[in-house]
C-alpha cells in the first residue's frame, strides 16, 4: 500500500515520512477502535483473555541453571553459569574501578517479530528488559 501511495506523491518533499506517519496513525486508530468497540485485540483475544503461559527448568544439562518461559508465541531461554569472584567484569570508567558480578544478555533480533533488519548493538528495549532480571535476582545470587 505504501508503494502505491508513494508513486503518486514522489515529487513532494518529505512525502514518504509524512505518508508513513499518516498510515501508522490510521492503523493505530483502527486497532484501538476495534478493541474499544468490538472488544477484540489484533490477535482475536478479548481484553480479559490471557495468552497461554508455560515454563520448564533444566533445559540445558551442562549449564548451572536453565529455564524456558513461554507466553503466547514469545519464548525466553535463560541460562545461568556461575563463576568465581575474580571472574567478575571490571568496569573501568571515570569513577573508581567497580566490578559487576551479574550479567544478563537480552537479545531481541528483528526477525523475532518478522521484521527485516541488521543485528546491531542493544537498543533501549533490550537494555531495559535485560536490567529487570538483574534487579530481581541480584539479592539471591551467590
Q: Give per-residue pLDDT as tens, 96-118.
A: 878 887 777 777 788 877 788 88
pLDDT, position 11: 64
Alpha-carbon distance of 107 to 111, in angstroms, equals: 11
Q: What percent of the chain has pLDDT over 90?
A: 20
Name the burial class of residue 67, with classes exposed (0-12), middle (13-18) and buried (19+) by CB atoms within 10 angstroms of its CB: middle
The pLDDT of residue 7 is above 90: no
The pLDDT of residue 84 is above 80: yes
Model pTM score: 0.55
Rounded to 5 degrees, φ, ψ at 74 are -90, 130
pLDDT, position 40: 92
Structure-block grid coordinates of residue 8: 503518486
Amino acid at each position: 500500500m505504501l508503494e502505491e501511495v508513494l508513486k503518486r506523491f514522489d515529487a513532494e518533499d518529505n512525502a514518504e515520512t509524512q505518508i508513513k506517519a499518516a498510515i501508522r496513525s490510521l492503523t493505530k486508530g483502527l486497532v484501538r477502535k476495534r478493541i474499544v468497540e468490538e472488544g477484540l485485540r489484533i490477535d482475536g483475544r478479548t481484553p480479559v483473555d490471557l495468552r497461554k503461559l508455560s515454563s520448564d527448568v533444566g533445559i540445558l544439562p551442562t549449564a548451572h541453571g536453565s529455564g524456558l518461559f513461554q507466553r503466547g508465541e514469545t519464548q525466553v531461554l535463560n541460562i545461568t553459569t556461575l563463576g568465581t569472584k575474580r571472574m567478575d567484569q571490571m568496569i573501568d570508567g571515570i569513577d573508581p574501578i567497580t566490578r559487576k558480578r551479574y550479567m544478563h544478555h537480552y537479545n531481541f533480533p528483528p526477525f523475532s517479530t518478522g521484521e527485516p533488519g541488521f543485528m546491531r548493538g542493544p537498543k533501549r528495549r533490550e537494555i531495559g528488559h535485560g536490567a529487570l532480571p538483574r534487579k530481581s535476582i541480584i539479592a539471591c545470587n551467590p
